[in-house]
Structure 1
Amino acid sequence: MSKKKINEKYDYIVDLKAKSATLTQQGIKKAEQEFGL
């Protein structure tokens, strides 16, 4: 799956090797709406 499709489909991406999670653009938009930013 391409990176663009992943960003459109999911709110965040988990990197198990680095033990981190990153918000996608869609996830950022949802978080901003939830927190009223």
Structure 2
Amino acid sequence: MMMDAESPIPVARLANRILSIGAERRQVRREWRERCGRAV
């Protein structure tokens, strides 16, 4: 979702950053699960 281009509102930008951080966290958790072999 490229909301940033349409609405340069700080709130939209903040939401975009939060979504990005959430995605990174999910990926990290998945990597840990693969490394440990269990659901963390």
**TM-score, length-scaled by structure 1:** 0.42
Which has the greater radius of gyration?
A: 2
Higher strand share: 1
Higher helix share: 2
Structure possessing the higher relative contact order (Cα contacts under 8 Å, 6 or more residues apart): 1
